[in-house]
Homo-oligomer: A and B are copies of this chain.
């Protein structure tokens, strides 16, 4: 059964039927599609276009179709073309010709736009929950590692000591921004397109305000041509997903590097590692490598849709059918990856003694410069002086603190007394009391804020 055969003489080519059909993937929208149709049947009855009895038949029939989908009994056919056709075909089988009244004034163009927004809304909710799960895992580990110190890095070179919790939470906030982006996207997409018809609006006096309320939308479209041709919300969601992907890739990179034998800062649980088919000793962080690699498809999906949209004429063009697979893939990928990342973090063994051992004196070079500043030396000069001390220590292959007192004195008389006090990572960390800094109080504030977010 086709929804449009009347004016056609020739048969659709079999190849074309296969090429054209979206039922292979858009069956996933069945819940949203049927939810929309149930509401639409109500609206048709309210507008006097069908009787209440017809409405009941339609709604009961739709209920049965939903059930068949839900319990896996619905039989898809290639000739179903798309989810709308499939549902209407089955409805017709179940309740006869009255099924043909459901589509009154409605087009697949406004129908799919409605379905997709309902789907996106639900998907955002679930991704948000999964992000929250990762945040909680980070927060739990952070709570447990507030005292332990590790080298903070820039350029993958040791920079300054930081609490392990501080590093862990540096991966918490990007996810918080991701959640806000998702929420913004959700607010923006929650506009009902139903009633836009094919592109010119609805001629049957359907009550869209009521439809909007029933279906949980916040408002109704103001332009029917825009309503059927707009896929901004898909692009925005794919972007949010792609950025989540890059955040996970950065977290994964840290952990992969830190779990190398050379760093040894963290050990992944066996549950999230795999081995080699050839090398018996290998335990590889496959979970994190995949999480890092998934950024590729997430960015690819975004690019795919942007390319589809580029240069498209107004309103609906069939190119837009290409919006769905990428969206489904992005959501599926996130809903699979995020729990794995949460699991990795939740079961991660953090080797604080290896971290501590990596806190060599050079990480406190800035503290030496700061001390000189407190002695009245302009920072820029202090920086230069300490740079030379670092070089001196390196040349002599000794730790900074072991430089001969005369070298220290030559730099600044006042430095000698304070010299040994400087080389205490805990002191360094405690001195950085800025907002977002490493001191205990700053960290406590940060942890409290994080707790507030991930509840």
Contacts and interface: CB of A to CB of B under 8 A. Distances in A.
A322 interface: yes
A311 interface: yes
18 contacts: A4-B274, A6-B388, A13-B271, A15-B343, A103-B380, A107-B276, A156-B257, A159-B200, A160-B199, A181-B188, A198-B279, A204-B370, A222-B449, A226-B436, A229-B250, A257-B313, A282-B365, A296-B307
B107 A277 contact: yes
A8 B280 contact: no
Interface string A304-322: 1111111111111111111
Which 9 residue pairs spanning A and B have beta carbons closest together? A6-B387, A201-B437, A300-B304, A4-B275, A100-B380, A10-B270, A293-B319, A201-B432, A289-B318
A125 interface: no
Contacts of A229: 170, 250
A370 B307 CA distance: 37
B373 A49 contact: yes
Interface string A356-370: 001010110111111
A74 B306 CA distance: 40
Main secondary structure of the interface of A (DSSP, over half): helix
A27 to B, nearest CB: 17
A391 interface: yes
A181 to B, nearest CB: 7
A193 to B, nearest CB: 8
A173 interface: yes
Interface string A1-20: 01111111111110110111
A381 to B, nearest CB: 6
A281 B16 contact: no
A174 B230 CA distance: 8
B290 A436 contact: no
Interface stretch (A31-39, A65-73, A115-123, A147-155): A147-155
Contacts of A202: 432-434, 437
Contacts of A195: 434-437
Contacts of A8: 270, 273, 275, 283, 387, 391
Nearest to A447: B222
A286 B155 contact: yes
B109 A358 contact: no
A166 interface: yes
Interface stretch (A261-269, A401-409, A413-421): A261-269
A384 interface: yes
Contacts of A358: 261-262
